[in-house]
Each structure stands twice: as structure tokens, then as C-alpha cells.
A and B are shown apart, each in its own frame.
Chain A
Amino acid sequence: MRLGSTELKLEKRLTLSGWQAALISVLAIVFALLIFSLIFILADVNPLIAYQKIFSYAFVNPHGLPLTVNRFIFLLFCTYAFIIPYRAGLWNIGMAGQFYIGALATYAVLYAFGAKSFNNSNLSPVVIIPLMLLAAGVGGAVLGAIPGFTKGKYNISEIVVTMMLNFLTFWLVAQMIKEGGLFMNPGGRGESFEMPASLHAPLIADIPFTIFLVLAFALLLYYMFAKTKIGYQIRAYGKNPAAARYAGISALKIPLLVFIMGGALAGLAGYHYFAAVPGVYKIARNYGYFGDLAFYGIICGLISQGNPLAAIPVAFLFAGMSNGGRFVQGELSLGFGIDYALLGVLMIALVAFQFFYRYSIVWQRTEKEISDVGIPN
């Protein structure tokens, strides 16, 4: 593109620093919000007011912020469930299923200790909370092991297997919590029995302890990929499976391992949302909604390019926007689905702007003036 005596040109980037990537992401967000304001204008709403409400509810409001934080924890677990296989070049589309199984495993522990029938408050949280966490992680891991094994042993597409398991587990949850199910709420209502108050997760400033857990995983994963032997093996397999095999890295072990780790983290999201978020404490009727939200782990993982630390702000933004979007939809009487539309536009902008990770726009004098200078021999 030419403007007067200067020319706009795309140039391939050779390197990309962390702050450049961050700046590009911020620009993408601004761009998405600008585009999305058209929707608000079409709905006769001042976009400035709408955004003010979205942001203040999502990130400031004393009712809204905890909701955002809880979604953030949930989403970050799901993001890691995606990122770990992603670094091995594999696609985990099964965080929803692994999350459901995590939730079921959590409630299985409660059921085993008789929490359903007695609802007694004498159960010791010191024993049972760790057991629930463990069960959730193991449950997700076992489900994850299935696509990991079939991929590693028989080279069956992990995408197909994980997706199938999502359907299977969705109905398994329904089977367990709805009419006649083992975990059915005594009052019917299509949800699970409630957990006893004594087993509610410890809160720190109204935030469940799971936030420390997920942030610890952030550091752990970052360290794992940057420094450890296993992290190296995962990355090598991800970049070039044949070369990894040549270097003595097992083509069975790596897929199995990354899916076990990823599945375990998605399973912990199941514990978090249905056993640690204040006010929930049961497998809710709308568990499918969270299953859908779990897929945003894929988006967050892709936007952060598999970097566990970069995933933190991305997951926080998406959690806030889904929460604030849903709020403003009711508050301003907007049409159904505004929250998902907003997430969608954000996602497209962030992904599209990754073009600038590889190319930069430069201003250049036009060719005419260059040829005046002459090319040195």
C-alpha cells in the first residue's frame, strides 16, 4: 500500500519478544471491543456504557469479581488440560469429559463416605478434601489415558477419541444425577445431592484455595517445559515425533503421559467448580454449560501459544468477559447469547492478530527514492 512518498509494507519478523507479543494481544483486544461495539449500537445501547458495565461487573464489583475469579480458576485448569498435550503436538478436545469425570469422582468420594444419606457434618475435611482432589485428578487422568493410549499404541486420532468421550461422559453425568441416579438429589431437580457444609473448601478472602493450586501448576508447568527432562521430551515429540523417536523418546509414553497429566488437571476443574465454589456445592443442573465453557481452554491455550504463564491473563480475561457479558445481557435487556458472541469476537481477533507474531508492518520510503540512492556494488 502506498501513501504519498511512503509505502506500507509487511515484513517477516525474525524474533518476537515477550512484550511485543503482549502488546499485539492488547491491540487485538481493543480491536475486538471496537468491532463488538457495533453490536451494542445496533441494539441501541451506548457501547461505552455497556463496556463500563461489563468491566466493572467482571473485575470490580464485589458480587461479580468472585464469580470471575472462580471461572478463571476453572478455565485455567481447562487451559492447562489443553496446553500439556498441545506442547506434544496433540489436541485434547476432551477437557469437558475429563471435567465431568472429575466432578463425578469427587461426588463418588462423598457418596462413599455416606454424605448423601446422612448429610452429617462430622466428616473430617482434612481427610476427605484431599481425597476428593485426588479422586478428581485420578478420574480425569484415567479418562485422559484412553486417548493417550490409543494414540500412542495404535496412532488413533486423539481428537476423535476425546470428542466421543465427551458425549459419553455428558450422559454418564446425567445418568448419575438425574431421576434414579446414584448421586440424585433427594429433592429431584435434576442435580446431585449437596455436599455437607463441613466439607466446603477453605476460602481465602472468599476465594477457594484452588486458586493457589492452579497457580502452583502454572509455575510447575512452566518449569517443567523450560528445564526438565520430561518437558524436553514432550517438546521434542511435539515438534518432530520421528526425530524424538530417533532420540530414544518413547512414542507410547509421551502421548499417554501428556493426556494423563492434562486429564488430571481437567478433573481438578471438576472438583473446583462443583465442590469448592461458594454457593454451588453440588453437580449443578446446568453442568453442560460449564462443559461448553471448558472448551475455552482450547482458545486460551492457543492464544497463549502453549505458554503456561501467558495463559494466566488470557484465562482471566475470558473468564471476566464471559461473566460480564452474561451480566450485561440481563442488565441491559440484550438478546440471548451476547456473552458468547463477545467471547467469539475476542477469540477471532486474538487469533487473527497472531499474524503479527510473524509479520510486522513497516513504513518505507518508496522504491523511487531508494533507486536514487543506488545499490552498492
Chain B
Amino acid sequence: MQKALHEGVKRGDTVLEARGITKIFPGVIANHQIDFEIKAGEIHAILGENGAGKTTLMNVLFGLYQPDEGDIYISGQKVNFRSPLDAIELGIGMVHQHRKLVSAHTVIENIVLGHPRAGRVLDLKRAEVEVEELCQKYGFKIDFKAKVWQLSEGEKQVVEILKTLYRGAEVLILDEPTSALTPLETEKLLESIKAMAEDDLAIVPFITHKLPIVLAISDRVTVLRRGKVVASFETKDATEKSLAMEMVGREVIFRIKRAKVERGKPVLQVEDLSAISDKDILALKGVSFTVCEGEIFGIAGVSGNGQQELAEVLAGLRDAQGGKVTLEGKDITRSSSLERWQLGMGYIPADRIDIGSIGDFSLVDNTTMNYHFDKNYVRRGALDYRKIRQLTEQIITEYDVATPGVDTTAVCLSGGNLQKMILARVLSRRPRLVIAHLPTQGLDIGATEFVRNKLVEAKKEKAAVVLISEDLDEVLSLSDWVAPIYEGEFMGIIPGDDARRENVGAMMAGLHLQGEEI
């Protein structure tokens, strides 16, 4: 393991410094004269909305891009990264938001992969011992023998962090470290991050939203807006409000009021529904609930407690092991997802890149995903592309999707715009039942506000909305009913007015609250 950087570095020494970084892409100044520095043992968060230039800066620091202007210094020495390999060599590690792991391999194999010492023959035993040491030191827990595809997002992230640490990183760049994590996982990660900082590692988390995290963890925070540094404070001088102001450039309303809508007739009835997960265990253990017209039914829980399975069973993408699902009086337990779409289901999946959209397809073709089965848009087997194009143009205007046009491919859209596009496409069918799984995950403040408002609008139009979220505040502020889920079971169903952080939080952790069930 190379220790070039660590030797002689004392706590408080500046380990990485960027001076006047400017990066120009055709038509955009992505970074403009950015100054940034981090000391050993410090946690220095970089905050900015989507498109503020965070990714560009990150890639410059990691050697993926060469800056057009400006210099990078490591421990006071000017360096020139030609590629990420140079950066890794000098002790910079990057943990990507979109995990770059080999899903068919085990955890330890992934950690060792690409390590300079790995060579041709893998000495996994030795690696296990050494990585176990890292785990102990920073409080990570992971099964080395598990295959990566079996892991939750949080566990995958632990693997990525271990991989970087094992390669000897001294400066850790974390891209949206908590965006895919559950509250519990987040808490654990934050502890580990603090432990790493205690150990004199320098840590740079890049964060779009989740201001509380920034406040809880960082020593310093630098805010980017439109490619420039607009503010840089000691975290103790910042508040959630001041950070949001700097990020967005205006005041932001954090809470959306729950809309009062008269409760209509039942739309979705679920009785004793159970399902088996990909790992072949019973992940959903008999849940029952009813959602009526004009209601938002919020399911709060830490990821991996059966939410994914529940969403998929409701959407017809996973077989029910037992129980019954009724949509407007019709038994749909055995119906295909196609039939459910036609009956008025609208599903917004958690994974918007790999499930919710087709990256290589134009926006028109992405809209078609929800219309290829619609008789009004198909004539004698041929798609009515003129109509679908009109519809696409209309929904991107209505949902304010930032794109050069409807022929742009979906892969070019930013996360927030892609989510708006998916939402627009699904809600444009005026579904009777909306299943929204992690609808605001990873979105910036502006887009989050927008998505939540649209869900409330769907409710006002008499749709039944099932909201599955890990963001407790989101569930509490939007839902008429709150069902905390734990290990595949509802710990109770509480009317929205009675739901508090305290009681719902306790139930998410597995406590049954007596007397409050309905």
C-alpha cells in the first residue's frame, strides 16, 4: 500500500488544494475560478444543486478532466493528473454515486479488483485480514463472501469505500454519500466518516440536498451555484436555511401542507399479501391495507424491509406468494403488469435510470413506454408517432423538463429532469392508482418540491397514491395514512394527523405501538 501522502502529514496540514479551477465545455462554463482546500482530518462538504458544477469539479479533482485553467496541489506540491490513475496513485479516492462494482463477484473480490498488488493470483485470505482491520477501525460491517448483486445500496457503498481505502486513499471524495441510504445506514455511515476523519483522512462529500447531513457532519462547507463558489463557511456558522438560500439563490419552503381532499371509494385493496425476494427469502409477510380515492398512503421504512418487493408485486412485476390485490373491485393478483397499466395503474419505480427509462431512446420513445398499449395511440399495429410527439411536447412544457427538445435521448437528462419526465409520462395517463417508490431520491431541492406537489395534485384529482419512501419527513408531510414497514410487515397504520417522527421512527425500527392500530 503506498503511503506517500500520509508520511509526514500532520493533522491540520492542507493535503489537497485547488486554485482557480476553470473548466469550459462547449456552451457552458461548468467551473469558474473555483478555489478549494482540505486539511487532513477535515470533512469539507461541497454543496450545490444539480447542474451547479459539482460533478465537473469532482472529476477535475479525480483526474477525469483536465482543467482549462487553474492548478491542483497535493501537500503543497503542484500536480498534473493525466488520468484517475495518477490521482489514485497520489492517494485520492472516489466513491461514485452510481456504483462501479462487478455484481456477479463477491465483496472481497470487488475490493481487491484493480489493486496493484492483486497481480495475477488473488491472495484473498490476506486481503480479508487486511480489509477486516479497516472494517474494525472504521466500524463497517459487511459479509465478504456475499455477491454484490445481493447487497443493498448502502452495503454496496461500504464496499466502494473499503475498496478505495484499501488502495490507500488519503483523500476520500464521496459523491452523494447518503442519497441511496436508509436513515439507519446513513447514521452508521456518518459515524464511520467521523472515525475516518479522526484517523486524519480528508473527506470531501459532494451533496445536492439533505442539508441536515451537511450540518451534522462537516467541519466546513463550500456552496456552488452555476459553476462558481458562492459561499464558504465554517459549518458552525451555517443553518439549513442559510445553506438553502445560497444553493438556490432564493428562499425555499421546506414543508408542503397536506391537502384536504374528501375521501372517496376504495381504489386499491390489499389483503394479506406476501412475496419472496431475489435472495429467495420471504421479504413481504402478509400486509393488508386499503387506499381510497384522494388519499396518499405513505409507507415509511428503512430500505430492504420489503418495500421493493411490495412495489413490484403491486406493479405486477413480481409474483405474489399469497394474498389478494384488488384494483377498483377487480382482482388483479395474477394480472400482468400490462393489464394493470391498462386498468389505470401508474408506477414510478425507484430506479429511474435502469427501470424507469430507456437511456438510448428519445423522449418521444420514452413517452411511448406508457402508451404503446393504448388504443388511442396505436392504429392497426402502427404507433401514432405524431400524437405521441405532441403529447411529449405538451408534458415536457407542463412539467418544465429542461431539454433541448423531444428528440434528445433520456440519458442526456439530469436526474431531476429525468424524474420529472417519468412522473409526467406516468401521470399523464391520469392513473387511478399511483405507486411512487422513492420519488424524490437524489433530487435537488427545487425538483423535490416539484415532484411532491405533483403527487398532491394527483391526489386532488381523486387518484389513490401509494408513496413508498425512506424520507420520513416526506412521508409525514404528504400522507393521509402512515404505515411504517419493518421486515416485511406493517408495524401499524396511523392516520396522518397522529403520525409523529417519534412514534413512526420507533415503529420503523420494529416496535409495535399498541392501541394505535386500525
Contact = CB atoms under 8 A, between A and B. Distances in A.
Interface of A: 227-230, 232-233, 235-236, 239-240, 242-250, 375, 377
15 contacts: A228-B382, A232-B365, A232-B368, A235-B365, A236-B368, A240-B357, A240-B358, A243-B358, A244-B358, A245-B317, A245-B337, A246-B317, A246-B349, A246-B355, A249-B338
B337 A248 contact: yes
Interface string B365-376: 100111011000
Given A239-B359, A240-B354, A250 B336 contact: yes
Among A229, A247, A250, which residue has the most Cβ atoms of chain B within 10 A? A247
The 4 closest A-B pairs by CB, nearest first: A248-B338, A247-B369, A240-B358, A248-B337
B515 interface: no
Interface string B278-321: 00000000000000000000000000000000000001010000
Contacts, number: 73
B24 A229 contact: no
A95 B368 CA distance: 32
A285 B336 CA distance: 50
Nearest to B312: A246
Nearest to B32: A377
Given A227-B383, A228-B382, A250-B336, A239 B361 contact: yes
A185 to B, nearest CB: 45
B355 to A, nearest CB: 5
Contact of B361 (A236, A249, A375): A236
Contacts of A228: 381-383
Interface of B: 22, 24, 32, 68-69, 315, 317, 336-338, 340-341, 347, 349, 354-361, 365, 368-370, 372-373, 378, 381-383, 385
Contacts of A240: 354, 357-360
B9 to A, nearest CB: 34
B356 A375 contact: no
B408 to A, nearest CB: 11
Main secondary structure of the interface of A (DSSP, over half): helix
Given A230-B381, A232-B383, A236-B369, A246 B361 contact: no
Contacts of A243: 354-358, 369
A375 B359 contact: no
Contacts of B32: 377
B336 A248 contact: yes
B382 A246 contact: no
A229 B338 contact: no
Contacts of B382: 227-229
A246 B351 CA distance: 11
A240 to B, nearest CB: 5
Contacts of A245: 317, 337
Contacts of B336: 248, 250
Nearest to A248: B338
Given A246-B317, A248-B373, 4 more contacts: A240-B360, A246-B347, A247-B341, A247-B370
Contacts of A233: 372
A228 B382 CA distance: 4
A247 B372 contact: yes
B69 A375 contact: yes
A334 to B, nearest CB: 44
Contacts of A250: 336, 338
Contacts of B315: 246
A86 to B, nearest CB: 14
B354 A242 contact: yes
Contact of B358 (A227, A230, A239, A248): A239
A242 B361 CA distance: 14
Contact of B381 (A229, A239, A248, A377): A229
Nearest to A227: B382
Contacts of A247: 341, 369-370, 372
A300 to B, nearest CB: 22
Contacts of B347: 246
Most buried by B among A232, A233, A248: A248
Contacts of B317: 245-246
A246 B22 CA distance: 42
Given A236-B358, A242-B354, A243-B354, A375 B24 contact: yes
A244 B382 CA distance: 18
A21 to B, nearest CB: 17
A122 to B, nearest CB: 41
A377 B228 CA distance: 12
Nearest to A223: B382
Contacts of A377: 32
Contacts of A375: 22, 24, 68-69
A236 B361 CA distance: 8
Contacts of B354: 240, 242-243
A376 B90 CA distance: 32
A227 B382 CA distance: 6
B360 A239 contact: yes
Nearest to A236: B358
B153 to A, nearest CB: 16
A227 B373 CA distance: 14
A229 B371 CA distance: 10
A229 B337 contact: no
A246 B337 contact: yes
A249 B341 CA distance: 11
A89 to B, nearest CB: 11
Contacts of B355: 242-243, 246
Which of B32, B336, B358, B360 has the most chain A CB atoms closer than 10 A to its own CB? B358
Nearest to B374: A229
A245 to B, nearest CB: 6
B338 A232 contact: no
Contacts of A229: 372, 378, 381-383
A243 B370 CA distance: 11
Contacts of B24: 375
A243 B355 CA distance: 4
Contacts of A249: 338, 372
